[in-house]
Structure 1
Amino acid sequence: SFPGGKCDPADQDVVHTALRETQEELGLAVPEEHVWGLLRPVYDPQKATVVPVLAGVGPLDPQSLRPNSEEVDEVFALPLAHLLQTQNQGYTHFCQRGHFRYTLPVFLHGPHRVWGLTAVITEFALQLLAPGTYQPRLAGLSWPGAEGLAHPQQPLVSPCQASSTSGLNKGL
């Protein structure tokens, strides 16, 4: 999953929450001016509404990070080019009590599988970063809160009303 968490009272907005959580969880200080914007908030039925914050960090060696062992088990990076290759894209069906509920994207990388809300956020980011190149494998996500990207005129910073997650672009 991406770094993220609930807003602290000291956080001005979701951008500051994402930057703070990235520093706390990965030991990575991302300057506010590297924030590109927000993706549309998505609803996670088990947790809360999540506001993905997209930032550019340039080439990044995962070995240079200092992950917090209490919050992070493993760190790996997926370059944009890898995510755009169709052989690394898939989907998974979720069922409840033996009945189909919804389908979400999955991104594959060796032993790693990016799925769930992290894959949904990754898909939204790919649609924004590689329009015309990235073709979602699902025509539409039939999942509450997965309507797509925020309108381009949406303000960069929104009030701190939800959890935030950092969509750090590690491969540009």
Structure 2
Amino acid sequence: MQPDCLLAEGERRCRRLLAGATAWLCARPAAAAVLVPLCSVRGVPALLYTLRSSRLSGSRKGDVSFPGGKCDPTDQDMVHTALRETHEELGLSVPEEHVWGILRPVHNRQKASVVPVLAGVGPLDPQSLRPNPEEVDEVFALPLAHLLQAQNQGYTHFCRRGHFSYTLPVFLHGPHCVWGLTAIITEFTLQLLASGAYQPRLASSEGPPIG
């Protein structure tokens, strides 16, 4: 499937493939959820990213991320967490019916589960968004065609106690480097949307202890 056809032709297929996991994962507890916003920027399919505010505390400040955050006791489920956090961070309201499903959860250094929620948000101008400056420094989109080009795909090997432990994807040559949990979720998304066009070259012997 070509990138310019993904948004038009991929939704029904993705919803079908994700349906079982979504029903199972949506009701299970998790520490946090992020929204993976699949949008169209000037007619080009893309993923929307944020640059976390440098004023935040913790090790992830200034990193590229998908909008999202910790679950609130008032959230009905993981989908509501992702949608609520997206609205709080970006002022972007995504109707629940635009959610395609839940991708494979990832885990941070503390082994806490982070649930990625894939949604089609339609045509979007990232510059028109008004992100919360306390949480987000910048919003940008990377076209799927860019992410699918081999020259924009990298990887990093990690060692533990002097021996190879795992390899993580990295996506390069955009406004900012996409790495860590966000790169793993990006890879999951590309494997779903463009399984024939995206062939990850990475192997991992253990789960990455990243945050």
**How high is the TM-score relative to the length of structure 1?**
0.77
**How high is the TM-score relative to the length of structure 2?**
0.64
* Cα distance change, pair 78–143 in 1 and its aligned pair in 2 (3 A): farther
2:85 to 4, 11, 21: 21
Per the alignment, residue 37 of structure 1 pairs with: 101
How far off its partner does 1:6 sit? 1.2
> Would you say 1:85 and 2:85 are equivalent positions?
no
Greater RCO between the two (CA within 8 Å, min separation 6)? Answer: 1
Query: How far apart in 2 are the matches of 1:43 and 1:110?
Result: 25
1:132 to 172, 196, 201: 196
Query: How far apart in 2 are the matches of 1:69 and 1:47?
Result: 29
Query: How far apart in 2 are the matches of 1:126 and 1:29?
Result: 24
Higher share in helix: 2
Say which SS state the counterpart of residue 184 (structure 2) adopts.
Answer: helix
* Cα distance change, pair 60–137 in 1 and its aligned pair in 2 (3 A): farther
Aligned-pair identity in percent equals 84
Q: Deviations over 1:44-85 (max 9, x none)?
A: 124621110000112321101111111112211101111111
How far off its partner does 1:134 sit? 0.8
Query: How far apart in 1 are the matches of 2:165 and 2:207?
Result: 11
Q: Any conservation in 2 of the 1:22–1:28 contact (CA below 8 Å)?
A: yes
Structure 2 gaps of 5+ residues are: 1-64
Query: How far apart in 1 are the matches of 2:109 and 2:93?
Result: 30
Per the alignment, residue 114 of structure 1 pairs with: 178
Query: How far apart in 2 are the matches of 1:115 and 1:137?
Result: 16
Query: How far apart in 2 are the matches of 1:61 and 1:98?
Result: 46
Q: Any conservation in 1 of the 2:69–2:81 contact (CA below 8 Å)?
A: yes
Q: Deviations over 1:126-157 (max 9, x none)?
A: 0000011111121x333428xxxxxxxxxxxx
Q: Deviations over 1:86-144 (max 9, x none)?
A: 11101012345655432100001344100000000000000000011111121x33342
How many equivalent pairs are there?
Answer: 145
Say which SS state the counterpart of residue 142 (structure 2) adopts.
Answer: coil
Higher share in strand: 2
Say which SS state the counterpart of residue 83 (structure 2) adopts.
Answer: helix
Q: RMSD of the TM alignment (CA)?
A: 2.0
Per the alignment, residue 2 of structure 1 pairs with: 66
